[in-house]
Structure 1
Amino acid sequence: MMWQWALVPLAYLMGSVSSAVVVCRAMGLPDPRAEGSKNPGATNVLRIGGKKAAAITLFGDVLKGVLPVVLGKALGVEPMLLAMIGLAAFLGHLFPVFFGFQGGKGVATAVGVLAAFSWQVGLALLGTWLAMAAISRISSLSALTASVLAPFYVWWLSGDMAMTATAGLLSVLLVWRHKGNIQRILSGTESRIGQKKKAA
């Protein structure tokens, strides 16, 4: 049905709500786009605002990936359109229209999208992140590892080629958004989980 295509821009608008900025404003914390790593995501909010603010931010970022896909599934949209809805929510997080198109790196929202499509994929991604975080204590490395494996998990656990292709695109965009982190990982200067950013 043609009206179902309206879910694509709706998903983008939902993704454009920056949980990090909203949470920091509500809790009287510094703007995450100007403090710490300057990334509006849960890891940076953890650095500048603590665990509670970070947990709320993480929940919000995951939720805005989950809701559009769940809505699409409930309305019975075809797999290709469902994949586009998920991609739109993710792009909204990366390039939010409400915040000058300056968004986060998209890990939590991508996980939300893929977990809403398949809870088994969500568990695989979470398990990968937790395992790498326990080994390396580096959030970005954990996210990158899960991101690279995401298309394989989707293909293996669902066999849906439209969502597998979308997961591949998400993976490429996530690696691109983490290029600075990759450079710091290689140089040994990347911050570890729970470590505050050193003052310049």
Structure 2
Amino acid sequence: MSLLLLLIAAYLVGSIPFAIVTSRLFGLEDPRKYGSGNPGATNVLRSGNKGAAALTLLGDSLKGWFAVWAATQLGFDLGQAALAGLAAFLGHVFSMFLRFNGGKGVATALGVLAGVDARIAIFCAVIWLMVAYTSRYSSAAALSAAAAAPVAAFMFLGPKLAVGVLAVMSAVLIWRHKENIARLRAGTEGRIGGKKKDNPPEA
């Protein structure tokens, strides 16, 4: 398989909107219609269905991990496998099934990190948990973990192409949270565990 075909396949896998698929399986409202309006696990959790949120988190994470794993199984090097992970991440963020307007990419990014090197994923997951526990802001936790990812990647991998690829992924993830950053500054960001009524849709 050529690298181009790998990236296209990874993008298509990443485009699968598990938040919407899972919500339909559980008979829930479309997650784009409440909370932050984001088709992701955190917003599905605002429906009150923890099972649906957990399944969404698992699906979104696995597609990032699978893209990297499949690339390595096909004989691509770590840098190329990281590019496949980035393609899956971009598929989630700019899903062709959602008119190129997908989720923020946090869970998928974590899956990519796990595929590249589990130590990076663990490091960033710990950062996410610490910030989420102390602030109860999922977005603040995601931003902190995203900022830490390239640093952790360099620490564990050294100066490799994969580190640069992960830095690009982190930059896109932070950019996707620009509205959240504005709401954090304004003090209007929804907290983890908040119900639909506490988290009005984004403008």
- TM-score for both structures, normalised by structure 2: 0.93
- Aligned AA for 1:147? A
The residue that corresponds to 1:76 in the other structure is: 75
Distance 1:79 1:69 in 2: 8
Distance 1:93 1:138 in 2: 21
Matches within 5 A, 1:150-169: 150-169=149-168
- Aligned AA for 1:119? A
How large is the RMSD of aligned CA atoms in angstroms?
Answer: 1.4
Distance 1:37 1:82 in 2: 32
- TM-score for both structures, normalised by structure 1: 0.94
- Aligned AA for 2:99? G
- Aligned AA for 1:150? A
The residue that corresponds to 2:35 in the other structure is: 36
**Residue 75 of structure 2: SS of its match in structure 1?**
coil
The residue that corresponds to 1:187 in the other structure is: 186
**Residue 188 of structure 2: SS of its match in structure 1?**
coil
**Residue 31 of structure 2: SS of its match in structure 1?**
coil
- Aligned AA for 2:70? L
Distance 1:119 1:54 in 2: 23
Identity in percent: 48
- The 8 Å contact of residues 191 and 197 in structure 1, kept in 2 or not, is answered as no
Please report how far the alpha carbon of residue 111 of structure 1 lies from its aligned counterpart in structure 2 after TM superposition: 0.8
Please report how far the alpha carbon of residue 78 of structure 1 lies from its aligned counterpart in structure 2 after TM superposition: 2.2
- The 8 Å contact of residues 29 and 49 in structure 1, kept in 2 or not, is answered as no
Instruction: Return 5+ residue gaps in structure 2 as ranges.
Output: none
From the superposition, tell whether residues 113 and 100 of structure 1 become closer, same or farther in structure 2 (CA, over 3 Å): same
The residue that corresponds to 1:146 in the other structure is: 145
- Aligned AA for 2:142? A
- The 8 Å contact of residues 78 and 116 in structure 2, kept in 1 or not, is answered as no
The residue that corresponds to 2:14 in the other structure is: 15
> Highest relative contact order (Cα 8 Å, sep 6+), 1 or 2?
2
Distance 1:160 1:56 in 2: 35
- The 8 Å contact of residues 69 and 81 in structure 2, kept in 1 or not, is answered as no
- Aligned AA for 1:96? S
The residue that corresponds to 1:45 in the other structure is: 44
How many correspondences in the alignment? 199
- Aligned AA for 1:13? L
Deviations 1:159-195 (A, max 9, x none): 2521111111111111111111111111112111111
Distance 1:69 1:198 in 2: 38
Matches within 5 A, 1:115-130: 115-130=114-129
The residue that corresponds to 1:133 in the other structure is: 132
- The 8 Å contact of residues 70 and 116 in structure 1, kept in 2 or not, is answered as yes
Distance 1:79 1:97 in 2: 26
**Residue 198 of structure 1: SS of its match in structure 2?**
helix
Instruction: Return 5+ residue gaps in structure 1 as ranges.
Output: none
